[in-house]
Amino acid sequence: MPSLVANIQDKQNIAKWKKAYSIISQAYAQTVNEGYEPCTKEHYGCPETSVLKANKVTVYFWYDKAEAITEEFKTHFISKFNGAIICNNSNNCKTNSYIHPSKIRPKTLAGNIFPSYNWSGTRFKLPTGELIMFGGTHGGPWLSVDVNGPENGPNIIGRDMFVMKLYDTSVKPMGAEGTFNPKTNGNECLCGKEYGNSGTVYFGGASGAGEAAPGACCSAVYLSK
């Protein structure tokens, strides 16, 4: 019975993810089209979509120690979501569980705990319960979403949490072309607990050029079903 319940919840969360990705990608494109640039002037950590076909590792997996997304862009992007609450210590987003080791921490499908800085940037919550998080280190910048909020669990990448990589003009789900290193992931990014790095984990592998985290590439796989 528990496995049946979990399977039903997973299907519900996948449906929520598909809806969330559609809304997020539309809001991102709209913000760009209105003239707001998401990345710093040097495009540090946010490669242009148009140069992906150059097939250069330095273009695909830009190492970024900072979030790199401009505050102006984030402000206008968040404004596209009616009723969104920007999370801080004075409201009920309940995101502290993601950033304090003594609390609940998100995990991979294989059970590894994620370093908190994968999503330690600006976080905001939608009226429908989704928590959206900016993060920049190790191959980002990234935008991740917990489709049912951190208070509901299971807080696992590939089950109720999904990841996108940010580009100058668009977002792409983790596992799509250009979001991972094919050489270190067997030329394709697969969805399952047996795939990916079982050690220290980052969304796209260390510096964005290593093995992806188990479950991270479910983000793209589920959108194709």
pLDDT exceeds 60 at position 55? no
Tens digits of residue pLDDT in 130-149? 999 888 767 778 899 999 98
111: left (phi over 0), alpha (psi -120 to 50) or beta: left
How many other CB atoms are there within 10 angstroms of residue 63's CB atom?
Answer: 15
**pLDDT given for residue 6 in this prediction:** 63
Tens digits of residue pLDDT in 170-224? 999 999 988 888 888 888 889 999 998 877 678 887 777 788 999 999 999 999 8
3-class secondary structure, 178: coil
pLDDT-derived band at 80 (thresholds 50, 70, 90) equals very high
Average pLDDT over residues 96-107: 62
pLDDT exceeds 80 at position 95? no
What's the chain's length in residues?
Answer: 225
Q: Give me 93's structure tokens.
A: 């987003």
Q: Give me 1's structure tokens.
A: 């019975």
Residue 117 CB burial class (10 angstroms; 0-12, 13-18, ≥19): middle
pLDDT exceeds 60 at position 52? no
Q: Name the range with the highest mean pLDDT among 5-14, 161-170, 191-200.
A: 161-170
